[in-house]
């Protein structure tokens, strides 16, 4: 049975087939909802491509997910395994951001989509709260098999689909072949009931209402159909009502609650969800016990709004969805590190959340607004806006910073009334100017813009105003990080070689890879020292720690090695160890020193507790060199360092690395090193610059390193 794929019909397009595959997977696994994410390898993000069984507004925070984020799908890809989360408590413990934006009872599985040559993305499935907390081995195998099947379909597709800003929504239900014959009978049945009957789709819109329900809600049937109950009946516009709906649609459990209509009558609402929507039963509830009469001096309660008049916009409560938006964005902003992270988050999640099309994020710097990021604008417009004085009157940015009060303009005419030049700059049609302040100090300004007129509701203004404070905190913190980061990189660059020496008979390539988080500075180092016309020394090492102290000690170790280079390798290490012990540091250092005689095709190696190198010789398999290592520097001053001799005929490739290259979470370092050695043998003639990058991608396909890594590649050639 084929799935109904809106927008694709029976066309065999890749996206339509992917939608069908998701629906079939949801049905076969007994899940209640599903999502398919596709991996954008260039940006290392997951984009939601297909969705079924869930309201889109529930999934908006997860339309685009960084591969390094703490989400089940990201972890499934990074660690190449099925991730199962069986309860709300486990979700809160392992993935607090997900739990904050979806605090409901459900079970979840995330499985990678392993293609022939790449990982396509991941499959995410949800089950109702009634599902057992633990998945059986057979069920896990079934889910993984479904994911492999989808990946195989993507491998076979000549034009694989790409994730877009608007994911494809597919339906889990199809009409019964006899359903068209009995619609009037169903309507007549519902109309004869003395109680109210509503049907909602998964987005919360009313698809059916009988006369009794319309009378109880106080609205005509035609004013209810196609609306959400809390929109067409203002007295239901309260967070609790929307929250009950979201609980039913995600947990797929019956929900019951009561609410008072404008006359004070108490109504009982019973929600019964399934994969197609929610059936709602509405009946009068028993009247509560009368409350004691107020004392004569008590003020009279405010009158309820008239039946045809919605409550004041200013007094309306913020929707539950908006509250979860704020919770999600707040938790996401706490994870940003650099200014670029803040810009990416605001552009990728805040804009879609509020339907905006453009973003300008600027920082207050030396009395001017320096633009740090933008989205939806051309570069010429940004250059015109960059560097405006804080007190500028060209746009409202200066005004909102001086007053600390956000400004909202729903149309170009409205903005032109106060700032005539502003609408002409960008061609946008609505704007939210949000001051970014910390304790009254201006940090910058965040501008959201729209390509069409937009009415800012009271809850939008409230959430955006609150969000501005969170963005200000994140931006200020990120600016401090970027300053420290720049200082750290400058120090690191001065301590590592600016270039490798030119040596006849040897081609070389080197990489230093800072960890994805933190100061981006540590104690990993490498060096190549030319000893004479045909002899070089190659060294690689790792100082314990990831801070300025580790980097400073690394510089001292490099200097000590250079001072002794040319002596036998074991003497070089012994001398360096003595220097380190004299410094009295508590930090330990691992080092591998190789002296290469190019004229005779021979290398002599000595190791101070460092991982052994990888080696490939022409016509032979790649291998991990078997070394007898001595102790780390800083442990014992009198321990000798054994040496190992290696023949290096022309065409041999030697790879020296620090442990960050092979210590990949979820893998065995020895197995990773062996795999990289085998990979050396598969690329015997590849340029060393390309080969070194291939080795890094082989070990860390996500590009997010959990530890600093140094890698030095040396290939002997004919003299």
Same domain, 133 and 217: no
Last residue of one domain, picked from the residues 487, 522, 540: 487
671 and 523 both lie in a single domain: yes
Task: Tell whether the torsion through CA atoms of 89, 90, 94 and 98 is positive or negative.
Answer: negative
Query: Are the C-beta atoms of residues 218 and 233 closer than 8 Å to each other?
Result: yes
DSSP one-letter string for 276-332: S-EEEEEEEPPPPPPPPPPPTTSPPPPPPPPTTSPPPGGGSPPPHHHHHHHHHHHHH
| CA–CA dist 336, 97 (Å, integer) | 13
- Residue 183's pLDDT is 67
Residue 666, domain CATH = 3.60.40.10
3-state per-residue secondary structure call for 670-702: HHHHHHHHHHHHHCCCCCHHHHHHHHHHHHCCC
Q: Are residues 145 and 210 in the same domain?
A: no
Count the Cβ atoms, other than its own, within 10 Å of residue 189. Answer: 12
373 with 367: CB under 8 angstroms? no
Distances (CA, A) of 5 to 10, 51, 243, 278, 358: 8, 11, 28, 21, 30
579 and 481 part of one domain: no
Distance, CA of 83 to CA of 79 (rounded, Å): 9
Q: Could you tell me if 307 and 264 are in contact, meaning their C-beta atoms sit under 8 angstroms apart? A: no
356/420 same-domain check: yes
Residues 465 and 566 in one domain: no
Measure Cα distances from 623 to 192, 237, 537, 627 in Å.
81, 68, 21, 12
Structure tokens at 191: 């109309």
pLDDT of residue 292: 55
Answer with the one of 487, 522, 541 that is the final residue of a domain.
487
Are 565 and 710 within one domain?
Answer: yes
Domain span at residue 475? 334-487
Closest CA to 653 of 628, 627, 690: 690
User: 266-270 long-range CB contacts below 8 Å, 24 or more apart?
Assistant: 267/216, 269/244
Q: Is the dihedral of CA 91, 93, 97, 100 positive or negative?
A: positive
Residue 194 lies in a domain: yes
178 falls within a domain: no
263 with 146, same domain? no
Looking at residue 274, what is its pLDDT? 85
Residue from 692, 682, 694, 695 nearest 715 by CA: 692
Check residue 488 and give its pLDDT: 66
CATH code at position 212:
3.30.450.20
Residue 176 lies in a domain: no
Assigned domain for 182 exists:
no
Q: What is the pLDDT of residue 492?
A: 66
> Mapping DSSP to helix (H, G, I), strand (E, B) and coil, where does residue 622 land?
coil
If asked whether residues 610 and 554 sit together in one domain, one would say: yes
Taking CA atoms, 331 is separated from 70, 467, 470, in Å, by 11, 11, 10
Residues 645 and 511 in one domain: yes
Q: Domain end: 112, 143, 170, which one?
A: 170
Q: Are residues 668 and 577 in the same domain?
A: yes
10-residue mean pLDDT series, the chain (719 residues): 35 66 91 92 86 82 82 92 91 81 87 91 92 91 93 84 72 53 69 86 88 90 88 83 84 88 89 88 75 49 42 41 65 78 82 85 86 89 87 85 90 90 87 88 90 87 84 86 73 76 93 64 84 94 76 84 93 92 85 95 95 94 92 87 94 93 85 92 84 90 74 91
pLDDT of residue 302: 41
**Based on the number of CB atoms within 10 Å of its own CB, is 295 exposed (0-12), middle (13-18) or buried (19 or more)?**
exposed
Task: Report the CATH number that the domain containing residue 107 is assigned in CATH.
Answer: 3.30.450.40
Residue 138 placed within a domain: yes
CA distance 108 to 82: 10
Question: Structural domain tally of the chain?
Answer: 4
- Rounded CA separation 132/350 (Å): 35
With respect to residue 291, please indicate whether it lies within any of the assigned structural domains: no
Q: With residue 113 as reference, give the H or E element that holds it.
A: strand 107-114
Is 314 domain-assigned?
no
d(CA 284, CA 268): 6
Q: Is residue 599 part of a domain?
A: yes
Q: Are 677 and 611 in contact (CB under 8 A)?
A: no
Task: Tell me the backbone φ, ψ of residue 123, rounded to 5 degrees.
Answer: -105, 130
Are 428 and 503 members of one domain?
no
| pLDDT given for residue 657 in this prediction | 95
What is the torsional sign of CA 363, 366, 367, 369?
Answer: negative
């Amino acid at each position: 049975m084929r799935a109904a794929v809106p927008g694709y019909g029976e066309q065999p397009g890749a996206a339509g087939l992917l939608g069908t595959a998701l629906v079939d997977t949801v049905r076969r696994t007994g899940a209640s909802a599903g999502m398919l994410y596709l991996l954008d390898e260039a940006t290392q993000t997951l984009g939601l491509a297909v969705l079924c069984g869930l309201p889109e507004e529930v999934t908006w925070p997860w339309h685009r997910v960084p591969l390094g984020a703490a989400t089940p799908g990201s972890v499934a890809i990074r660690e190449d395994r099925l991730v199962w989360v069986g309860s709300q408590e486990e979700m809160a413990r392992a993935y607090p951001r997900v739990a904050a934006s979806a605090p409901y009872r459900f079970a979840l599985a995330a499985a990678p989509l392993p293609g022939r040559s790449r990982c396509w993305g991941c499959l995410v499935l949800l089950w109702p709260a009634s599902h057992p907390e633990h998945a059986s081995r057979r069920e896990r195998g079934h889910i993984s098999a479904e994911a492999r099947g989808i990946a195989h379909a993507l491998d076979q597709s000549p034009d694989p689909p790409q994730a877009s800003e608007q994911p494809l929504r597919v339906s889990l239900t199809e009409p019964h072949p006899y359903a068209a014959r009995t619609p009037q009978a169903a309507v007549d049945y519902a109309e004869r009931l003395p109680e109210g009957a509503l049907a909602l789709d998964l987005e919360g819109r009313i698809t059916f209402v009988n006369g009794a329900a319309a009378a109880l809600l106080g609205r005509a049937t035609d004013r209810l159909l196609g609306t959400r109950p809390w929109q067409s009946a203002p007295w239901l516009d309260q967070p609790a009502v929307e929250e009950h709906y979201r609980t039913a649609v995600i947990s797929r459990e019956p929900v019951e609650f009561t609410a008072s209509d404008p006359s004070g009558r108490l109504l009982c609402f019973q929600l019964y969800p399934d994969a197609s929507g929610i059936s709602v039963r509405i009946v009068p509830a028993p009247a509560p016990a009368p409350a004691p009469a107020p004392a004569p001096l008590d003020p009279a309660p405010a009158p309820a709004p008239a039946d045809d008049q919605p409550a004041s916009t200013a007094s309306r409560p913020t929707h539950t969805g908006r509250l979860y938006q704020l919770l999600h964005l707040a938790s996401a902003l706490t994870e940003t590190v650099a200014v670029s992270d803040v810009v990416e988050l605001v552009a990728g999640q805040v804009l879609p959340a509020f339907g905006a099309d453009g973003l300008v994020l600027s920082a207050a710097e030396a009395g001017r607004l320096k633009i740090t990021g933008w989205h939806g604008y051309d570069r010429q417009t940004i250059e015109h806006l960059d560097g405006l004085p804080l007190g500028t009157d060209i746009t409202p940015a200066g005004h909102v910073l001086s007053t600390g009060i956000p400004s909202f303009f729903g149309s170009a005419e409205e903005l032109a009334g106060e700032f005539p030049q502003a609408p002409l700059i960008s061609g946008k049609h609505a704007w939210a100017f949000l001051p970014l302040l910390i304790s009254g100090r201006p940090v910058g300004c965040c501008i959201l813009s729209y390509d069409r007129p937009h009415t800012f509701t009271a809850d939008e203004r409230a959430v955006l105003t609150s969000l501005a404070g969170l963005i200000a905190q994140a931006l200020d913190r990120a600016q401090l990080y970027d300053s420290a980061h720049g200082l750290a990189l400058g120090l690191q660059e001065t301590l590592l070689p600016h270039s490798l020496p030119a040596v006849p008979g040897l081609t070389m390539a080197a990489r230093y890879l800072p960890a994805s988080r933190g100061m981006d500075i540590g104690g990993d180092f490498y060096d190549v020292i030319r000893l004479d016309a045909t002899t070089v020394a190659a060294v690689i090492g790792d100082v314990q720690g990831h801070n300025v102290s580790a980097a400073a000690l690394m510089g001292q170790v490099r200097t000590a090695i250079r001072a002794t280079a040319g002596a036998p390798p074991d003497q070089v290490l012994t001398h360096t160890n003595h220097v380190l012990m004299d410094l009295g540091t508590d930090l330990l250092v691992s080092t591998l020193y190789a002296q290469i005689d190019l004229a005779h095709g021979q290398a002599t190696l000595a190791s101070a507790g460092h991982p052994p190198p990888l080696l490939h010789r022409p016509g032979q398999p790649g291998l991990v060199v078997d070394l007898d290592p001595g102790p780390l520097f800083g442990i014992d001053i009198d321990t000798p360092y054994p040496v190992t001799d290696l023949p290096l005929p022309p065409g041999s490739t030697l790879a020296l690395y620090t442990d960050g290259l092979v210590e990949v979470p979820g893998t065995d370092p020895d197995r990773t090193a062996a795999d990289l050695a085998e990979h050396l043998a598969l690329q015997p003639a590849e340029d060393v610059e390309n080969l070194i990058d291939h080795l890094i991608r082989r070990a860390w396909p996500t590009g997010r390193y959990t530890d600093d890594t140094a890698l030095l590649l040396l290939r002997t050639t004919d003299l």
